[in-house]
A and B are shown apart, each in its own frame.
Chain A
Amino acid sequence: MSVPSMSRARLQSENQAAMNAPYLTAESLTKTFGEHRAVDEVSLSVPQGEVTSIIGPSGAGKSSFIRCLNLLEVPDSGRLRIGDDALQFGGAEPRRSEIQAVRRHTGMVFQAFNLFPHLTALKNVALAQMRVLGRSRKEAEDRAMAQLERVGLADKAGSYPGQCSGGQQQRIAIARALAMDPDLMLFDEPTSGLDPEIGAEILTVMRELAADKMTMLVVTHEMEFARHVSNQIVVMVDGAVIEQGEPDKIMSDPEHQRTKQFLSAVLGR
């Protein structure tokens, strides 16, 4: 009797291990803008099915780093592995096909939403499905509708972005990213352009995604979210990762002096 229970336990722990294998691994990524080293030898892993939050003061290179991950900025050097795709920077420019392969696996949500203003919410979510994934108009629009429902905006399908509030626009943007079936969602300060009240509705959607085991990397100033939703917190200062670990540990007992300073500033303690 004890054998099956043991094997079940082992199976569980194996599942756990498989769940936590990194989906994304960045090694020594560096990005320079002119003289400024925005991203300085950053290495980090994003485990499959978990939420990783990047926090840190403004200008720490958090956004630049996350933009390197789907190659909106091409890093100057370092290595990047996303799923089965591996890229090495510093030599030849990555080929268009390599860039597209990485982007096919990642969804991105921007601070400024960047919805397509001349298209309805439904078309915003359906367009790339048709053009990139080759889905029929019917299938793309059905799935777009399902994603809009998921973010609570089915009734806005026919509206243009300009007719929606900021919070609604950001939720449409999340639906647009989800409709491409990404394996990893990147969020670049998704609530920073919004009133705190409105930001809360975005965080709710993100919590639901986390509960669905979506792999997420979130650049955020929302300390509550970072602490209670993420499995891992990464602290970036001056382009470099200075500390990373369990949210409770980082929040209550940070090791690095700079982390303490930052947290006391944002948490007001």
Chain B
Amino acid sequence: MSDFSWLYDWPAHIPNLLPGLWTAIVITVIACSVGYVLGFFLALMTEAPLRAVRYTAVVIVEVGRGLPILVLMYIAYQGLPQVGVLLDPMPSAIAALTYSAAAYSTEMIRAGLASVPRGQFEAAAAVSLSRADTYRFIIVPQAARISIPPLVNLTITIFQATSLATVITVSEIMHHAYLSGSINFQYMSVYVAAAVLYLSITLPGAILTGYLEKNLGSPTKNARRTSIRKRVTTKTPAGV
């Protein structure tokens, strides 16, 4: 018995799901903003002179990327209480996704930092800029042009992954959708409404990523970036 009423009645379910959308956005914003800062420091650690520091960073990152996010969520919510860390559902989800965001962003940020020519560090050193100022004013702004498009993309992925938090009883979109569906049995309508809400964020996000990939910085900036890189790579530094 086919029923295609969902084709037109899904919008009626949107209001029920909106609180869940808000929750998903809050989780994403916190997880990504904290996660990317951690990712920045992990990226610096992967280049540290001390081997122990580098290895620590690599282990943290590879574990974070190797484990499914669902596993991280169960560990945060149900595993950690056993070692005395008791988190509510929402903080558990945020913790799991923050770790994931940090681990995945590390390589994107590292690639951005590595794209800045060595001469930029030397020029900053030659005018006595402190290390912190060198990163803040010289290196990070240039690295951002490389790192931001993949980070926007990762943010979209993390937003989608908030749906997994339903299994640890966070009332995000899918949690509301499942509850509505189990009351009125219009699962198709409810899930289409949920899908529309996810797409309302992810599609603009994808368009934004594409736009940033093409247009970060003016054409003249792009031209000079390649010219500077060429100059640095073709010349062996300091007659070595």
Contact = CB atoms under 8 A, between A and B. Distances in A.
A67 B122 CA distance: 10
Contacts of A60: 239
A112 B119 contact: yes
Contact of B228 (A64, A70, A73, A112): A112
B115 to A, nearest CB: 12
A70 B228 CA distance: 23
A217 interface: no
A116 B231 CA distance: 14
A111 B227 CA distance: 14
Contacts of B124: 116
A267 interface: no
Nearest to A105: B128
Nearest to A219: B239
B83 interface: no
Interface residues of B, number: 32
Interface string A86-105: 00000000000000100110
B120 interface: yes
Interface string B201-240: 0000000000000000100110111011001100101111
Contacts of B129: 127-128, 131-132
DSSP class of B's interface residues: helix, strand, loop or mixed?
helix
A64 B128 CA distance: 19
Interface stretch (A8-16, A159-167, A198-206, A244-252): A159-167
Contacts of B126: 70, 72, 103, 106-108, 110, 177
Contact of B238 (A64, A115, A128, A163): A64
A103 B129 CA distance: 10
Nearest to A102: B128
Contacts of B185: none
B138 interface: yes
A241 interface: no
A156 to B, nearest CB: 13
Interface string B103-133: 0000000000000010110111111111001
Nearest to A117: B224
A128 B128 CA distance: 7
A112 B235 contact: yes
Given A132-B129, A162-B224, A177-B127, A110 B235 contact: no
Interface in A125-161: 127-128, 131-132, 160-161
30 contacts: A36-B240, A38-B240, A60-B239, A61-B239, A64-B239, A67-B238, A72-B125, A73-B238, A108-B126, A110-B123, A114-B120, A114-B123, A116-B123, A116-B137, A116-B138, A117-B142, A117-B221, A118-B141, A118-B142, A127-B127, A127-B129, A128-B128, A128-B129, A132-B128, A132-B130, A160-B220, A160-B224, A162-B221, A162-B223, A193-B231
Interface of A: 33, 36, 38, 58-64, 67, 70, 72-73, 100, 103-104, 106-108, 110-112, 114-118, 127-128, 131-132, 160-163, 173, 176-177, 180, 193
